[in-house]
Homo-oligomer: A and B are copies of this chain.
C-alpha cells in the first residue's frame, strides 16, 4: 500500500514525489513552513493530497504557536493560513482545507487554546481518513462506466499518490480492476513533471494493473487507431458550470476524445467543486518555472536562455465532459443543476 501522507508523533510524513520512481524517499515535516515548501515544490501534489497536506500543515502551525491568549493565537493562525494559501493557486482543495480548519476554529471558539489545537489536529487526521473512503466511493460510482476488456487513457496522476490513498481517476480504474474486469491503461507521460511516467505507471505496476506508457502527443494516435474506449482524469478545480481545471494537456485530450466519440470522465471529490465560480474562465491558472520545462532530472534539454511558457493547468469546457464522478454519485450535463444537487447532499 502506498502511503502518500500520514501523521505520526506530530510529524507530517510524505513520500517525495519529485524523486519517484527512482527512489522511495520520505520527507518529514516538523513545521508548517516545511509543509508549504513541500506543496510548492511538488514533493506532494494532486488536488486531494494537497488538501490533506494543507490541513496537516495548519495543524502543525497551530500546535507550534506559543500564544498564551486567543487573539495572538488567531493571529498566528492567520499567518499559517496565508503561507499555506500561497503555495499553489489552482487546486481548490487547498482553500477548501483552509476553510475546513477555519470552520473548526469558529465552531470551537470558546475552547482553550490547547484544546483548540487538539481539535485542529483531529480534523486534519479526519480529512486524511475521509479522503480514502471518498475515493473508494468515487471508484464504486465510476467503475460502472468501464466494460470488461476496455482500454482507458488517463493523463497526469490522479491516483493514490494524488490523494491520501486509492485515487480518484485511478480509484475508478482500481475499482473496475477489483471488480474482476480485465482492463488496460494508457498513461500519458504528462510533461513537464512526468507524473504519468513516474507516478501513474509506478502505481499501476505496483497493483499489477496492465499499463502502457505513452508520450502526451501519442494520445491522438491511439484514439485514431480505435484503441481507447474511455478517458478518465482527475481535477484540480471544477466550476459551477462543470468546466474542469486539471493538469496541462487535459484540454487537448478532451478535444481529441470528443473528436473520436470517446467518453471523457472526470473523477473528483466534492471538495474539488468550486460553485462560487460560474465558469472555468475564473479559475486562476498557475504559471510555473521555466526550468521545469527546460530541464529533466536537472539536465538541460533546450538551448540556454530559451523563452518558455509553463501554464501548469488548463480548463476543459463542460461540453467535453461526459460525466463528473464524485463520492456522492455522478453528475452529468447540465452541470449547473447536477453539481449543485450533489454539493447540497449530505455533508460527511
Chain A residues with a Cβ under 8 A of chain B: 21-22, 155, 186, 188-192, 194, 197-198, 201-202, 205, 210-222, 224, 248-249, 251-252, 255-256, 259, 293-294, 296-297, 299-309, 311, 314-315
Contact = CB atoms under 8 A, between A and B. Distances in A.
A163 to B, nearest CB: 20
A130 B70 CA distance: 82
Nearest to A258: B259
A146 to B, nearest CB: 20
Contacts of A255: 220, 255-256, 259
Nearest to A314: B221
A260 to B, nearest CB: 9
A299 B210 CA distance: 24
Copies of this protein in the assembly total: 2
Contact of A306 (B186, B201, B303, B315): B201
SS class, residues of chain A in contact with chain B = mixed
A205 B251 CA distance: 29
B297 A212 contact: no
A222 B309 contact: yes
A215 B197 contact: no
Contacts of A213: 293-294, 302, 306-309
A280 to B, nearest CB: 10
Q: Which of A251, A252, A308 has the most B CB atoms < 10 Å from its CB?
A: A252
Given A309-B212, A314-B221, A300 B22 contact: yes
Given A21-B302, A212-B307, A309-B214, A296 B293 contact: no
A251 B220 contact: yes
Contacts of A259: 255, 259
A213 B307 CA distance: 6
13 contacts: A21-B304, A189-B293, A189-B302, A191-B215, A212-B308, A213-B307, A217-B248, A217-B249, A221-B248, A221-B314, A224-B314, A296-B299, A296-B301
